[in-house]
């Protein structure tokens, strides 16, 4: 049985400058050499700061971007495998019903001129499923699943609050019985109490319909709550991925550690002096540092980190890309930082 989704060496580069004949001269390397797997019924949390390429990865998996290299093996039934990276839009069409997307902003992802009925039945209509009456019946069912009342069917999105709109978006995503849903920051625009409602709903629906989520988010607490496995991205590369307890409980990559230290906890008794606050900022993806992309900010950088790109190593039940865990480099001399970068 093949995993639902297996991504290997995915590379999404956007041309930045082109020559006279339209050949790209330089690229913005939004996603570079990303590998991960998503199994059936599993939630993979993709975390990282803005500009880390997590959204681009999510969109590339749905082939909303054309990858420059790599494979995206999608297997809705577990038998036949489709490499979506190489397929044309026309060939992708029949596969599209197996994957859906939930966007961050429920205010801009719903067409203001369509009623709830039209919005939720649109995927069915596009795929020529059922008669008008059947579709309406199905929409009622979906709206109920999403926790909304069916008398709202003829209202327009403006009549709903953020949480209710996100429920409409979820109902629409479920319309075609997808196998995989890519969720791009689905709760970050919502208030906490509403956030909890939507997360609960998403977890219920996952169990009920056997969904798999690729859950893109920057909020580590949300990911800790909903995900089974976590992948941490930085500047277009995947730095660490593995089971949630391993990655969040015993982080190995220096960036994962710094990220976890930086995130405040909603519990004042755990308040601590922050020693691990990172200096500097995420690098510009069109002008990435050589070697390991994290080395200019890394508290444990070694001299070799400046020119060797770390390979994926499997250690202690997770994958990590850091030279500290590659035996041939692990004892190299550390970089001495003589300048204090931007006092905090």
Partner 1 sequence: MADPILELKDVHVDYELDEGVVHAVRGATYRVFKNETLAIVGESGCGKSQSSFAAMGLIQPPGVVSKGQILFRQKDNRPPIDLLQYHRNSPAMRAIRGGQISMIFQEPMTALSPVHRIGKQIDEVLRLHTPMDKEQRFKRAVELLRHVGIPDADRRYYQYSFEFSGGMRQRIMVAIALACGPRVLIADEPTTGLDVTIQAQILQLIKRLQGEHEMAVILITHDLAVVAETADRVAVMYMGRIVELADVMNLFQRPKHPYTVALLKSVIGSPLADDGRLATIRGSVPAPLEIVPGCPFHPRCDSYIRGVCDKTDPDFLTMQDNTSVACHLYQNK
Q: Cα(320)–Cα(241) distance, rounded to whole angstroms?
A: 7
Residue 68 or 218 having the CB closest to partner 1:
218
Residue 49 or 303 having the CB closest to partner 1:
49
Check residue 154 for interaction with partner 1 (CB under 8 A): no
Strand residue runs (E) in 39-177: 43-47, 69-74, 82-83, 99-102
Structure tokens at 20: 């006279």
Check residue 277 for interaction with partner 1 (CB under 8 A): yes
* Strands 43-47 and 24-38, sheet pairing: unpaired
328 φ, ψ (degrees, to nearest 5): -70, -15
x-or-dash pattern for partner 1, window 299-338, by CB under 8 A?
Answer: ----------------------------------------
- Contacts for 130 with CB less than 8 Å, ≥ 6 apart: 124, 138
Q: Cα(201)–Cα(71) distance, rounded to whole angstroms?
A: 32
**Where does this chain touch partner 1 (CB under 8 A) — which range of 101-109, 175-183, 267-275, 313-321?**
267-275
x-or-dash pattern for partner 1, window 179-208, by CB under 8 A?
Answer: ------------xxxxxxx-xx--x-----
Paired residues of 273 in beta bridges: none
| Closest distance of CB 159 from partner 1, Å | 11
Check residue 170 for interaction with partner 1 (CB under 8 A): no
| Closest distance of CB 302 from partner 1, Å | 21
Paired residues of 182 in beta bridges: 101, 214
Q: 3-state DSSP call for residue 344?
A: coil
| Closest distance of CB 50 from partner 1, Å | 6
Whether 167 and 146 have beta carbons less than 8 Å apart is answered as yes
* Strands 5-18 and 313-315, sheet pairing: unpaired
Q: Which of 5, 174, 216, 258 binds partner 1 (CB under 8 A)?
A: 258
- Contacts for 296 with CB less than 8 Å, ≥ 6 apart: 280, 283, 289
Q: Cα(226)–Cα(181) distance, rounded to whole angstroms?
A: 14
Residue 85 or 298 having the CB closest to partner 1:
298
| Closest distance of CB 215 from partner 1, Å | 14
Number of residues near partner 1 (by CB under 8 A)? 44
Check residue 151 for interaction with partner 1 (CB under 8 A): no
| Closest distance of CB 201 from partner 1, Å | 10
Q: Cα(310)–Cα(321) distance, rounded to whole angstroms?
A: 5
x-or-dash pattern for partner 1, window 33-62, by CB under 8 A?
Answer: ----------------xx------------
| Closest distance of CB 341 from partner 1, Å | 7
Q: Which of 110, 111, 116, 113 is nearest to 154 (CA)?
A: 116
Q: Which residues bind partner 1 (CB under 8 A)?
A: 49-50, 161, 163-164, 191-197, 199-200, 203, 218, 220-222, 224-225, 258-259, 261-271, 274, 277-279, 281-282, 341-344
């Amino acid at each position: 049985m093949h995993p639902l989704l297996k991504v290997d060496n995915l590379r999404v580069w956007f041309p930045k400058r082109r020559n006279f004949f339209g050949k790209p001269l330089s690229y913005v390397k939004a996603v570079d050499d990303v590998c991960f797997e998503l199994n059936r019924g599993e939630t993979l949390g993709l975390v990282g700061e803005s500009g880390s390429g997590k959204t681009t990865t999510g969109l590339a998996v749905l082939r909303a971007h054309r990858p420059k290299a790599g494979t995206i093996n999608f297997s809705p039934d577990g038998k036949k495998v489709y490499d979506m990276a190489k397929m044309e839009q026309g060939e992708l069409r029949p596969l599209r019903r197996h994957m859906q997307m939930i966007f961050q902003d429920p205010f801009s992802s719903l067409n203001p001129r369509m009623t709830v009925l039209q919005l939720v039945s649109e995927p069915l209509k596009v795929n020529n499923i059922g008669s008008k009456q059947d579709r309406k019946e199905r929409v009622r069912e979906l709206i109920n699943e999403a926790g909304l009342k069916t008398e709202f069917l003829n209202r327009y999105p403006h009549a709903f609050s953020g949480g209710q709109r996100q429920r409409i978006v979820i109902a629409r995503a479920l319309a075609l019985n997808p196998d995989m849903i890519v969720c791009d920051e689905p709760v970050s625009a919502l208030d906490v109490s509403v956030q909890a409602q939507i997360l609960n709903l998403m977890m219920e629906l996952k169990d009920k319909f056997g969904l798999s989520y690729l859950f893109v988010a920057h909020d580590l607490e949300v990911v800790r709550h909903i995900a089974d496995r976590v992948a941490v991205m930085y500047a277009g590369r995947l730095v660490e991925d593995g089971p949630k307890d391993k990655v969040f409980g015993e982080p190995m990559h220096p960036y994962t550690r710094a990220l976890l230290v930086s995130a405040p906890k909603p519990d004042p008794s755990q308040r601590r002096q922050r020693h691990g606050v990172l200096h500097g900022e995420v690098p510009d993806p069109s002008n990435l540092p050589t070697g390991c992309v994290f080395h200019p900010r890394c508290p444990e950088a070694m001299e070799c980190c400046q020119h060797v790109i770390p390979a994926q190593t499997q250690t202690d039940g997770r994958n990590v890309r850091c030279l500290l865990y590659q035996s041939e480099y692990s004892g190299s001399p550390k970089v001495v930082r003589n300048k204090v970068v931007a006092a905090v």
